[in-house]
Amino acid sequence: MAIDVTVRRVIPLPPDRVAAYAMDWRHDPEWTQGIRRAELTREADGGGFGVGAEVTRTARFLGRRIDYVLRVAGYDPPRLLDMVASAAPMPMHVTYSFESHPRGTLAGIRVRGGPGGLLRLAEPLTSRQVRSSLGKDLRDLERRLTDREGGT
C-alpha cells in the first residue's frame, strides 16, 4: 500500500473512556476530519458492532466526496479497532489503538492504503494530508472528551 501513516497523542483520560467514544461509529462525524455521515450498514454476526460489522461513511477529502464501507476486521475494546475497506475508491486499512499511559491514554490512528494509477504521483501530498487530518482527529477527540468530562 502506498500510504502508511501513524499518528499518536496522549489524552488525559482512562483508555476505557477514550476507546468507548472513539470506537462508537455514531461519533465519527463529531471528531473525524471530513466525515459527514456514518451509518452501521451491516451488523456483526452476533448482532450489533463487532467483527464483521460494516460502517458506511460519507466524507470529504482533498475537496472530493468519498463514500466508502469499512468492515471491522479486529475488535478488542478498549484496546483495538481494526477496519478494512470493503468498498472504497481506493484500498484502505484503518487501525485505532488505545494504550494505558502515565498521563491517561496513548491514542493512535494508523491508515494504510492510498491511490493507484496516476494518482500515485500525488502520494507525498496525500501522505502529508492524511497525517495532518489524523493529527486533527486526535486533537478533536481529546477536546470533545475533555469538554464532556468538564475539562481536565
115 upstream amide cis, omega within 30 of 0: no
- Which H, E and C letters describe 81-110, residue by residue? EEEEEEECCCCEEEEEEEEEECCEEEEEEE
Which sign, positive or negative, has the C-alpha torsion 40, 43, 49, 55?
negative
Looking at residue 152, the DSSP 8-state letter turns out to be -
pLDDT in tens, the chain (152 residues): 478 999 999 999 999 999 999 999 999 999 998 899 999 999 998 999 999 999 999 987 667 788 899 999 999 999 999 999 988 777 889 999 999 999 999 999 999 987 654 344 445 556 788 889 899 999 999 999 998 776 44
Predicted TM-score (pTM) of this structure: 0.87
Tens digits of residue pLDDT in 67-109: 899 999 999 999 999 999 988 777 889 999 999 999 999 999 9
